[in-house]
Amino acid sequence: MPRLVMKFGGTSVANVDRIKNVARHVKREVEAGYQVAVVVSAMSGKTNELVGWCKEGDAFYDLAEYDTVVASGEQVTSGLLAIVLNQMGIKARSWQGWQIPLITDSAHSVARIADIPSANLDAAFANGEVAVISGFQGVDRETNRITTLGRGGSDTSAVAIAAAIKAERCDIYTDVDGVYTTDPRIVPKAKRLDKVGFEEMLEMASLGSKVLQVRSVELSMVHGVRTYVRSSFDDPENPQLGTLICDEEEIVEKQVVTGIAFSKDEAQVSVRAVADKPGVAAAIFGPLADANINVDMIVQNVSSDGATTDITFTCPGAELDRARKVLSEAKDSIGYKALETASDVVKVSCIGVGMRSHAGVAAKAFKALSEKGINIRAITTSEIKFSVLIDAAYTELAARTLHSLYGLDKAA
């Protein structure tokens, strides 16, 4: 029998009524002849509550104990869904990460999956059971302690399990009915995409699209797991297929630009008047790397005399205070004159595999933004995307301008 993984996020399992709705979706697939594994998140808001309790206990809590606490949210959901399925006449049992086992490394709170033996799930399927699995969690192979995969980790759990059990596909159910050309709350003309390539989805997820966790898309691409983004709020008897995340070869019509993403959690840091000599960049970015602060866009401007340079970069807004502290402590070794920061910025990105074969794609955007009076602070590019850093006040105008510029208002 073919196998299917279904993943349901926090809003989809926010209360018992919604869990009953989820059960009807599962029942439909079981009756269609699938052996089903269901991966569930904690109820909406529950993980935040559990994190808050940890902070109340100790602001500098032990990460291993933190994992023990926050993993309990998914345990509740998996047990409740199994109860409801059994009541509906669908044989089911709940599974925790350590019972599968979903084996991880020892990086508590941000663990990475090392292995998922399929024997236990194979036995459950052979017994005619639906496996209801607590997402977001695993077990450290060395210490046998509970680990968690980071926020949004249930998506990663689902794709990894789909790969391990050789599922036909992985359906990610959420509160939207697919992947859109951009955020429809910002651009009302945004269209739902029928298909998106793995590479494009990876860029979109990493650049601000909140539909899928980045690591889940990486796993989908590496293991070739065909993944659908679907809405759990569709009628279980007549659901829509949503958006398929798949290999680029499955997409016949490739647009130059597939989507517009934007990230508001950005900060700009400018290190002014440092000596223009070898080793300066290492002196700046080495300490930031040691502090695990991710740096994205980097721009270097050399002064007219060639003696000094300004280096500007972006980092996550939540890391701005730490970045400022790290650079202040390293001021003597870097030798800069001033440190300037800004948090009222946004990164807007255009993504599309069609850029590989079309010249001047970015130049069109720069001209269009200029005509709207939008100043570009920084630019970064790759083979299938380019990003610009602009003032946050122009987010909606920029997104709508670029969405229209590349014909996405008319996307099929």
Residue numbers in the known binding site for ATP are 7-10, 174-175, 180, 185, 210-211
Cβ atoms within 10 A of the Cβ of 52, count?
A: 10
Question: Cβ(82)–Cβ(119) under 8 Å?
Answer: no
Beta bridge partners of 363: none
Q: What is the CA radius of gyration of the chain?
A: 23
Dihedral sign from CA coordinates of 137, 139, 140, 143: positive
Give the separation between CA 292 and CA 308, rounded to whole angstroms: 27
Question: Cβ(364)–Cβ(150) under 8 Å?
Answer: no
Please, what's the b/e burial string for 310-335 (b: 16 or more CB within 10 A of its CB; e: otherwise)? bbbbbbbbebbeebeebbeebeeebe
Give the separation between CA 312 and CA 335, rounded to whole angstroms: 15
Amino acid identity at 40: V
Annotated binding site: 7-10, 47, 74, 174-175, 180, 185, 210-211
Tokens of 74: 């998914």
Give the separation between CA 247 and CA 267, rounded to whole angstroms: 34
Residues in the chain: 412
Annotated binding site for substrate: 47, 74
Question: Cβ(270)–Cβ(312) under 8 Å?
Answer: yes
Nearest to 103 by CA among 158, 41, 146: 146
- 323 φ, ψ (degrees, to nearest 5): -65, -45
- Tell me how far apart the 2 most distant CA atoms of the chain are, in Å: 79
Give the separation between CA 65 and CA 75, rounded to whole angstroms: 16
Q: 3-class SS at 335?
A: coil
Rounded to the nearest 10°, the torsion over CA 277, 279, 280, 283 is -170
Query: Cis link prior to 316 (omega < 30° from 0)?
Result: no
